[in-house]
Amino acid sequence: MATASSESTLYPKITTHIEEVIKTLKYKLCNPDFPEQGLTLEPIPIVGTVKLHGTHADILIDSDNNITLQSRNNAVLLEIADNLGFAKAMSKKQSTILKLRDQFLARWKELNPNKTLSTELPITIAGEWIGEKIQKGVAISKLSRRLVIISAKINGAWVTDSDYADIEAPEDDIYNISRAGTYHSILYPEEPQKTIDELEPLADTIAAQCPFAESFGIIGEGEGLVWKLVSYMSDSDLWFKTKGGRFKPTYTPAPKKPPVDQAEKRKAAKALAESWCSEQRLEQGWDYLREKGIDQNMKGIGAFLKWVQVDILTEEKRYVAEHKVDVELLRKEIIGRAKPWYLETYAAV
């Protein structure tokens, strides 16, 4: 299998903040000559697929049939530098991978008869590697290990999932997320809370009983949904996720008044760190070390603390900017929460 030339092929990070998606959409649609002018948008249909609690895994195939395997954070996976056995499993399925690629390309050409397919861009089959001992406490962890196709990128653009929903290879333990169903709702750009109120109960339903696991006769907990705007399906900047149950993120309300002195700023930073340093986020940081091949001991604590800080400041950048949060104080409070958790987790291993 080949190596990737750039990390630009890594799968995009998907936000949980609907307001951030709306802000991005309005920025993309505004008149660049008059960016200060307000833009009012009508409700937009959205389509959702089930979010699986596994580990992200991508397959890139170039025009010479070279195959590159990737994870969320690694541009190249090999059997000797793997992610929970994904590369080892896929190394035995090269002919199946090429057949899947051919099916995706045939469908794309059928749907785009007047477009030219670039031979310089790889085809990306994006997926989630799930099953036994990959994650814990969810229904899909009771399944044998398998790859679930969640998206595909062809000719440099993410395609509409429903157009390729039947492409899978069950005989080789490669499935399509569509077997869990497709969900439809509305994004209200001018009423984000209305959107949240309508989507949260659905996410809780998925979290209570995973439809993907249920399609294999397994009953148990799921996670949530990933949503895409129907009119902007290929724009990954506008994808967002809603999680339910124990996976539901904690949203921090706007302060009644901005902190004025150092004591108030420190108190605000501490409250935010307590909210944003969730158990799930800290577990993701721990898993990041494993994925990157970093020792999960005292040697890895610096990388762990850096990851947690960056993840929070990236995910919560809008809140931090709008409410003028003291970033340095926030960093200190994040470390104050994350470091004891790391030491306790490391000691228990």
pLDDT at 36: 52
pLDDT, tens digit, 9 for 90 and up, residues 163-206: 999 999 999 999 999 999 999 999 999 999 999 999 999 999 99
With pLDDT > 70 as the criterion, what percentage of the chain qualifies?
A: 95
Token pair of 191 as six digits:
């009423």
pLDDT at 37: 61
User: Three-state SS for 349?
Assistant: coil
pLDDT, tens digit, 9 for 90 and up, residues 96-142: 999 999 999 999 999 999 999 999 999 999 999 999 999 999 999 99
CB 231 within 8 A of CB 292: no
Whole-model pTM: value is: 0.91
> Mean pLDDT of all residues in the chain?
94
For the chain, give the longest Cα–Cα distance.
64
Secondary structure letter of residue 153 according to DSSP: E
CB 175 within 8 A of CB 147: yes
pLDDT at residue 34 above 70?
Answer: no
The burial of 233, by beta-carbon neighbours within 10 Å (0-12 exposed, 13-18 middle, 19 or more buried), is given as buried
pLDDT at 257: 80
Distances from the Cα of 138 to the Cαs of 134, 167, 226, 318, in angstroms?
10, 25, 17, 31
pLDDT at residue 35 above 60?
Answer: no
With b meaning 16 or more CB within 10 Å and e meaning fewer, what string describes 84-121?
A: bebbebbeebeeebeebbeebbebbeeeeeeeeeeeeb
3-state DSSP helix/strand/coil percent for the chain, to nearest 5? 45, 15, 35
Cα 346 off chain centre by: 26
